[in-house]
Amino acid sequence: MTDLQLLFAEIYQAKNEKDLRSHLAPKIGEYFAAKRSGFFFFDRLITNPNLQKVLNVALSTKHNPVARYIAERHTPVHEGLVTSPKAWATICPRPDHWHVMAGPIVNRGELVGVVGCTREKSMPAFNTQNLADLSAVCLHLSVWAATVKSQHQPDKTDLLTSRELEIAELVALGKTNAEIGHELWITKNSVKQALKRMFRKLKVSSRAEMVAQLFATKHYAPEKKLSPDTLF
């Protein structure tokens, strides 16, 4: 198989997004000789506040002509096709993003994600062959998104940090905010604020609903009932 076919095979071997991210992203970077590489599914960006900057700036169709081109045409593009080097340096001043190439991940006619690579100023610009190869990668990622990703609900625990998962475990055991804070050496208010963030990420409105989403399929059996501590 060619190196490009190996990328296709890697896509279809992935059982979930985490699997895809850990194995495919580095190989995409290696194939395209990129300084940085990666891909984003918009549903994950929306639920992860740590990635909001990516959505609001890097993928903004208002500020980024590369993002706008992809959103309008659903086809790969590099910065040289849509703007001048001087203008791009103003839009994206990062030295490791001097050259940028990105392409769409599409599901049922809607843009659901983006895959991209960047190079430094000392590296050659992306060319038409790179665009053609990325177009093929995008096609296979779009098929993966329409089949594997659509058939499997994401693991809700992936949305939370390790500390947030610790808090969730203690909530499931019926601990109050004060008890959780004491056990984790943080304040009661810190627990409350953490739970608010967790509720937003998981799109739930109660402790019981959060526990059900996180642990219902994990055969998790809390030792105690949930305490009516407060909403948070």
For the stretch 131-153, pLDDT in tens is 999 999 999 999 998 888 766 55
Q: Are 226 and 212 in contact (CB under 8 A)?
A: no
Higher pLDDT, 126 or 42: 126
CB 140 within 8 A of CB 188: no
* Contacts for 229 with CB less than 8 Å, ≥ 6 apart: 176, 177, 207
How many residues belong to the chain?
232
Task: Quickly state the pLDDT bin for 40 (edges 50, 70, 90).
Answer: confident
Mean pLDDT, residues 159-179: 90
The domains of the chain, with CATH numbers, are 3-151 (3.30.450.40), 156-215 (1.10.10.10)
Nearest to 140 by CA among 113, 179, 174: 113
pLDDT at 193: 94
User: Is the pLDDT confidence value at 229 over 50?
Assistant: no
Q: What percent of the chain has pLDDT over 70?
A: 83
Q: Which of 135, 27, 125, 119 is nearest to 84 (CA)?
A: 125
- What single-letter DSSP state applies at residue 79? G
- Pairwise pLDDT comparison (158 vs 100), residue with the higher score: 100
- What single-letter DSSP state applies at residue 15? -
Q: Each residue of 194-220: pLDDT tens digit?
A: 999 999 988 888 888 888 878 754 444
Stretch (H or E) spanning 69: helix 65-73
Question: Is residue 49 predicted with pLDDT exceeding 70?
Answer: no
- The number of beta carbons lying within 10 Å of the beta carbon of residue 224 is 9
pTM score: 0.64
> What's the pLDDT score for residue 226?
46
| Amino acid (1-letter code) at residue 37 | S
CA count, 13 A, side-chain hemisphere, 10: 20
- pLDDT in the model for residue 223: 46
